[in-house]
Every structure is written in structure tokens, then in C-alpha cells.
Structure 1
Amino acid sequence: MKDLTTGSEGKLIFSFALPMLAGNVFQQLYNVVDSIVVGRAIGKEALAAVGANFPFIFALISFVVGIAIGSTVVISQFFGAGKMKEVKRTIDTLYIFMFFAALVVSLTGIVFARPIFRLIDLPPDVLPDAVSYFKVYATGFIFFFGYQGTSAIMRGLGDSKTPFYFLGGSTLLNVALDLLFVLVFRWGIKGVAAATVVAQAAAFFAIIFYMNRYHRFLDFRPLQMKFDRDIFKKSLRIGLPTGFQQTFVAFGFMALYRIVNLFGTPTIAAYSIAVRIDSFAAMPAMNFSAALATFTGQNMGAGKMERVHKGLKVTLIMANVVAVFISVIALLFARPLMAVFTKDPAVIEIGKHYLLIVPLFYMVFATMFTINGVMRGAGDTLVPMFFTIISLWFVRIPASYFLSQKIGVTGIWWGIPIAWFVGLLLAFSYYKTGRWKRKVVVKHPSFSSSDDAR
């Protein structure tokens, strides 16, 4: 546990974001290793199948993860205010919710996997592999949610390092199992999914063992947990908009895949690889934003608004410096990056064009996400949800479809930065109004209306 209400804002946010960033790099390696092994050892159809699973899986888990984010904000504000009993009740409530949510999501996904893949017009040569991969992957949702819930709890308490250590070990295990199950046992695409499930289960059980042994306050004892309705309502108020936002984003990705699918299997495979690379580029901004959200939550809980404003300024600088560096790497090494995943020249060429367009605008994405981090930390997640819906459903998808009909597949890629610009404009305009400060869980008289316009 770490107090973020005193000390250098920049150093605290950077040191808090760094383990999360490293942890998410490891988590993304799950997907990257899957894609490399599948693309090189099985083929582009299987690679397209794994890529097509991403928006479907994201759609299933996003709502639940959004609720967990809401709990993180509640925990951070209670912790900043020194209300430890409320912190413990929030932790118990989150675990109970995550358990039942995992059961519902797993069963729903398994039943509707094939109809959903047909709905997005997945090509017949990709559909069987996509369904096979998902049905195995879905058995691990309970471990995934358990680990995500534990990570959310620790982030709310200012500890971003512990989850990183266990996730790192889990990723190494996943790499080893990928190679074993696919190259040695010849289990094909099911082996890739099975490796991820086993690795996720190992991460969850390992971190629970650690908590029970070294952090008695955070001990995981299911039979002694109590569900607190009032706490859950607070988490829902903050988490529901985030959950809906994540869900709308997930369905937006599925709609984009439907547009991509119109251009055939090589384009699907190329897009699947480009999205993997893109996810690495997006992680610094997303993790700086998450660190800023916890920083904001604790400082608003402690009534220190001035530190929130300073925290935003230094985070914007850090996030944009990293964004520029990543953009240069992606632009200079577009073709070699694609070639890591596949030997198919058509797939490489299509993906290269993606990486010559989208990385030009990573600074826009980083700025947008950082500003949203302040509002999430304050507990205002409803308005950013509408901004996301507008930029995705009313800008990105229509623009991608329209431009793809005019200039081909590259038109899909141009729809992405157009939507980011709209999202940034909306987020910045709302931040300047200061209305997000009124959503804080722990109220302080120091938050005056005169401070709203800062």
C-alpha cells in the first residue's frame, strides 16, 4: 500500500505507472506470443481466427472490468480518507461480484460464440478455428476475473508492483506452454488457448497465496466475505459508465471487424497483427492514465485538489514524450514488425500501411487518455462514456466505412485518428468546465465551485 497524497507528483505517478506498464507489456505478450506461434506454425487462417476473438472476448469481459475500475476508484478514495473498514468491505464486495460475473460470462460466451462470429461475417475458412479457440479460452474467465479483481484492489491501495511480478511469471509460463502445446503436442489453435488459461490460473492462485501469507488485511477467505449493497452501489455509480463504455468500445471493434472482413482473410490477418502492435503503443498512455486516476482518487479523498492539477500536467508531459518515441519506432520499422508475425507478403504489405498511418497520431491518443484519467479518478465516468460512444460509433465506424468504400482498406485506418481528434476535443472541453470534481465519493468543503473552471 502506498500513500500518493504527499511527495513529488511526477515521481509518484511515474513510479506507480512503471510497474503497471511492465505488467501490461507482459499481459500483451500473451496475445503476441499466441499470434506469432499461430501465424508461423499454423497459418494465416488460424492467425485471423485468434485476431477475430479479440473483440468478442473484449465485449464479454469489458463490462465486468469496468465495474472493477469503479471499485478501484472507491478503494483509492476511502484509502486516501483513512477509512479502512470501508476499504475492506469494498474488497469483499468486489470479489463476490467478480466470481458470479465470471460464471455468467463464460456460459454466455460458449453458447453464443458461433452465432456472433457469423454475425460479423467471419469467412468460412476462419470460423471453425475461431470457435475452437474461444471455447477453450472461456474456461479461464474465472481466473482472469479473479486476477483482474486482485490487481484492481492493489492499484486502489497504491501498490502496482506486486501484480506485475506475478503477471511476469505467468507470461513466461504462457510462452513455454505455447511452444509445448503447439510445437510438441501438436494441439493446434486449442493448444494456444489452453496455454493462456493455465497461465492465467497460475497467476491468480500465486497472487492469492502471496496475499494470504504476507498481507493479512487483504486476505482472500471466500467463506468470510460479506457483500455490502451500499458499497456496491457506489462502485456501480462509478463503474457502470466505464463498463458500458468498454462494452460499446468492444462492440465497436466488432463492427470494425465486420468492415475489415469485407476485404478478405489477408486483411483480417494483417489487421489482427497491427492491432497487437498498436496495443503495445497504447499501453504507456493507458497506464499513465490509470496511475493518474489512482493519484487523483487518493488526493481528492484527502482534499488536495492542487496536487490533482499538478499531477495532470506532469502526466501529459510523460505520456507524450513516450508517444513520440513509440511513433518513430513504428514508422521506421513498420515492415520488420509485421514480418515478426507472418511470412505472407500480402499480409505484411497491408499491415505496413496501417503502421505508416495510425502511429502518426499517438500523441493525440495519449493526451485524450490522460485527461480522461483525471475524470475517472474523481469518480466522473458517465460523461466520458458518452464521449467514447460519440467518437467511436458516430465518427470512427462511419468514417472507416465511408473512406474504405472510396480509397480501399487504408480508409479504415484513417478513421482511427479522426475519431481520436474528436475524442480529445470533447474530453478537453469537459475537463475545463470542472464539473467532474462534483462526483467525488468523499466530499470536501475545499472543492469550491470557484475552482471548477480551472
Structure 2
Amino acid sequence: MANTNDMTIGSPVRDILKFSIPLILGYILQQMYLIIDAAIVGRWIGVDALAAVGTSSSIMFLIMGFCNGSCAGFAIPIAQAFGAKDYKKMRSYVSNAMRIAIVMAIVITLMSCIFCGRVLKIVNTPTDIFDNAYIFLFLQFLAIPFTIAYNLLSGFIRAIGNSKQPFYFLIASSFINIILDVILILILGMGVEGAGIATLISQCCASLMCWVYIKRKLQLLIPKGEETHFDNKLINILLNNGMPMGMQFSITAVGIIMLQSANNALGTTYVAAFTASIRIKYLFTCVFENIGVAMATYCGQNIGARKINRIKTGIYAAIKIMLVYFIITFIVIYPFADYMMMLFVDGSEKDVVSNAAMFMRIANYFYPALGLLTIFRYSIQGLGYSNLSMMSGVMEMIARCGVSLWIVPALKFTGVCYGDPVAWIMADMFLIPAFIWLYGHIKRKTPLCVS
């Protein structure tokens, strides 16, 4: 079937790599344009502007994490129906998922814009950067409907095994964002407002490209006739998959907000260091995230096809891929972290550079813990047990809150650096035993499965 990828046959390593590589390249490209965005802001506007852009990152993770996680959850039943070759049911899921997403976009955008200023105060945004932070965050909130649309539509495309097209759309939207950054910030001198507008327009373009592609190339996904009808049973299944995944990200974000709030209280220099290091960290960690995304689709299709033994084989394959990538990151990050931070600020900003580089190196030591987290979390979600994986988000939240309340006051920015590693380890302590139990449970329920 053209433009699809059946992950229930063939080599699991090949299937996972074939699916995840376009995802990884796309997100690396996306992170590159975020890095360029931050570099333009930090180098041409100043450290205060860089801090203003970064001070709201945890807030955006809270809101967009919920939206993106929910959209990813909505794609799980679609992947399962595709694996089971039940295309009529798959299209009914698509129709009802779009209904939910429209309501989400309206409600979340309105609420976020209304309370924009209040949430910036909650995270201890320094007064000298508050106005710029407000402008940037408000524009990010206006982009929420387009971000939801892109994640929902790209989730539909990935659910049937096609991860290449969303990659191409990210390439296009990334170049649009960079070009607009140059025009709005460097030529027109619009400052952080220009950065926010560039992001909004590029997100709009990405969602539009997904929609046009589905309409023209993926008729398999377009509901027709009674498939377009409201179905309360399917709505409940979609919500049971999507809401726990969205809540998982939001619960995790509460801990991140606590950590960033503790860091913001240390002053503008540390906010800038945190912003620079986070941009580079996401560039490297998005690979782990997308190996996990591949596992969600892989497990979803295979549980739909009742090929349970392939799930275990896929887990081992994903872990091997993750460990090879970790070695590569260590070779790159450890010697070059300081130079990476100089992309954002002048080398004379020694405190910003040294603290940001320390953050990167400490996090890098614990990347295998993050890799295991994403593999097991997304695999559990792909199997249809989003409520179970949500508990890992609770563990992350508890860990980051503990670091914020007790370790950061004692160790200052060094304590901030250990926020993520402690959270990853805590989540793994729950996820690994949970998956082992779940796999045995599913295998007992489906004794006639084939490999």
C-alpha cells in the first residue's frame, strides 16, 4: 500500500530505524532552527533577550506537552486499527480525533492567552526581562491551534508507518522560520516579537502542508459516509489513550516548572545559561524521544496484529540503537560543550558559558537512563496502557520538585543540573518493572499470537 509502512513484518531493527531516522532528522532540524533562533536573539539582541525567550520554556512544555502528548495518544488506536487491517474503524477514529482536537485548540488557546502574565509571575520571571518574556510567550500561545493541527495530522500519517512526510514538512517549516527570523529580527529589528511571529507562521505552514498531503495522497485516512459520524465509544477510547499521555507530559512539566522557577530565582545569568543548555540538550535528546515514538507505532501495529513476540524483540533492538547513539553523544558533548554554548553568547560571558556547559555534561552522563525511559514509556503507550505510563510522569514530577526544594537551595545551579538525571532515574524505576509485568500480562491474554 503506497505511502504506508507495515511494521508487523520483517526485521524489527530495520523497521525501527526506517521509521525513526526521518523522525530524528526532522526533529534535529527543528531543534537546529530553535538553536539558530536563540543564537540570533542572544547574539544580536542580548543576554537579557535570550533569558526572556528561555524563561517561559517550562510553561510551554506544560501546555504544548499536554497538546502534543494527547495528539500522540489519539494516534495509538489508529495504529492498532491499521495493524489489524480494519481501515473503516481507523477512519472513524480519525474523524472523532479531529473533533476532540478542535475543542482542545479553542479552549487551551483562550485560557493560555488570558493567564499569560500570571503564569510568568508564578515562575519568578525576573522583572528586567518580564515584558519581553510576556510578548514572546503570548505569541507562542497564539500558535497553539497550528501546533495541535500539525501534531494531530502528522500523528495520523505516522500511525500508518509513514514518518518521511512529516520530516519533509519540518524541513520546509524550519527554513521558513529561519528566513523569517532573519527578516523580522535582523532586518526589521523586531526583537523577541519577531522571533515569536516567525514561530507562529512556520507552525501554520507545517500544519497546512500535512493537511494538503493527506487530502491528495492518503485517501486511506479520509473518513467518508458514516465514518464521519460522532461515536461516543470511539471518543472514549481516544480520550483514554490521549488524555493520560497529555497529562503525563503536563505532570512532568510541573516538576520542570518548579525546577525552572528555582533556577529563575538565581538571576538572569543562570536563566540565560539554562536557556542555552536546554536548546543544545534538546538537539541531542530528541533522538531518544523519537526512538520512543517509533516504538509507540511499532508496538501499536504489532499488538493490533497480535504479534506479541515481535514486541520484545523490538525492545531489545531499540535499546541497542539507543546505546550506540549514547556513545556518539559522549564523544561530541564532553570535549565541545563550552564551544557549543558560544553559539548563543559572546565568549566574554564566561559565567553563562561555563554553567551551561556544566549542565550539558552532567545530563550527558545519564542519557542511557533517558533512553530507557523513552523506549519503555512509549512502548507501554503503544500497547494501549497510557494510564500506566502516566505514572512515570508522576515519578519525574516528584523527583524534580524534590531537587527544586532541597538540592537547588544547597547547590545552586549545580543542583539545577541534576534535576533531569534524578527525574529520569526515578521514572525508570517505575517503567521497567511495569513493562515486564505488562508484557507478561498481554502474552497470557493472547496465547495464540504469532511472531
Tell me whether 119-128 or 129-138 shows the greater mean CA deviation. 129-138
CA displacement 1:375-433 (0-9 Å, x = unmatched)? 1110112122112212x232232134422222321022123222222222221112222
CA displacement 1:86-129 (0-9 Å, x = unmatched)? 11011111222222211212111111011110111110011100
Q: Which amino acid aligns with 2:448?
A: S
1:34-113 paired onto structure 2 within 5 Å: 34-113=37-116
Q: Distance in 1 between matches of 2:145 and 2:305?
A: 35
TM-aligned CA distance change 1:138 to 1:422, over 3 Å: closer
Q: Is the 8 A contact 1:380 1:436 kept in 2?
A: no
Q: 1:432 aligns with which of 430, 433, 436?
A: 436
Q: 1:114 aligns with which of 83, 106, 117?
A: 117
Q: Is the 8 A contact 1:285 1:323 kept in 2?
A: no
1:261 aligns with 2:264: yes
TM-aligned CA distance change 1:439 to 1:185, over 3 Å: farther
Q: Distance in 1 between matches of 2:404 and 2:330?
A: 21
1:20-419 paired onto structure 2 within 5 Å: 20-219=23-222, 225-343=228-346, 344-390=349-395, 392-419=396-423
Tell me whether 401-410 or 287-296 shows the greater mean CA deviation. 401-410
Q: Distance in 1 between matches of 2:28 and 2:338?
A: 21
Q: Distance in 1 between matches of 2:35 and 2:376?
A: 29
Per-residue deviation, 1:445? 5.1
Tell me whether 204-213 or 113-122 shows the greater mean CA deviation. 204-213
Q: Distance in 2 between matches of 1:77 and 1:233?
A: 16
Q: Which amino acid aligns with 2:392?
A: F
Q: Which amino acid aligns with 2:40?
A: V
Q: Is the 8 A contact 1:400 1:416 kept in 2?
A: no
Tell me whether 202-211 or 155-164 shows the greater mean CA deviation. 202-211
Q: Is the 8 A contact 2:259 2:403 kept in 1?
A: no
1:2 aligns with 2:5: yes
Tell me whether 114-123 or 431-440 shows the greater mean CA deviation. 431-440
Per-residue deviation, 1:447? 6.3
Could you tell me the TM-score, scaled by structure 2's length?
A: 0.94
Q: Distance in 1 between matches of 2:33 and 2:222?
A: 28
Q: Distance in 2 between matches of 1:130 and 1:226?
A: 43
Q: Distance in 1 between matches of 2:284 and 2:76?
A: 25
Q: Which residue of 1 aligns with 2:448?
A: 446
Task: Give the count of matched residue pairs.
Answer: 445
Could you tell me the TM-score, scaled by structure 1's length?
A: 0.93
Q: Which amino acid aligns with 2:435?
A: Y
Per-residue deviation, 1:220? 8.5
Per-residue deviation, 1:281? 1.7
Tell me whether 279-288 or 398-407 shows the greater mean CA deviation. 398-407
Per-residue deviation, 1:3? 0.8
Q: Is the 8 A contact 1:324 1:363 kept in 2?
A: no
Q: Give the match's secondary structure for 1:356.
A: helix
Q: Which amino acid aligns with 1:351?
A: A
Q: Which amino acid aligns with 1:210?
A: Y
Q: Which residue of 2 aligns with 1:452?
A: none
* Coordinate RMSD, CA, aligned: 2.2
Q: Is the 8 A contact 2:94 2:223 kept in 1?
A: no
Q: Distance in 2 between matches of 1:142 and 1:417?
A: 32
Per-residue deviation, 1:206? 2.1
Q: Distance in 2 between matches of 1:291 and 1:403?
A: 35
Tell me whether 123-132 or 49-58 shows the greater mean CA deviation. 49-58
Q: Distance in 1 between matches of 2:33 and 2:443?
A: 36
Q: Distance in 2 between matches of 1:196 and 1:417?
A: 29
Q: Which amino acid aligns with 2:48?
A: E
Q: Is the 8 A contact 1:400 1:413 kept in 2?
A: no
TM-aligned CA distance change 1:382 to 1:323, over 3 Å: same
TM-aligned CA distance change 1:58 to 1:337, over 3 Å: same
Q: Distance in 1 between matches of 2:25 and 2:88?
A: 31
Q: Is the 8 A contact 1:378 1:439 kept in 2?
A: no
Structure 1 residue ranges, 4+ long, deviating more than 4 angstroms after superposition: 435-440
Q: Which amino acid aligns with 1:352?
A: A
Q: Is the 8 A contact 2:48 2:129 kept in 1?
A: yes
Q: Distance in 1 between matches of 2:275 and 2:186?
A: 22
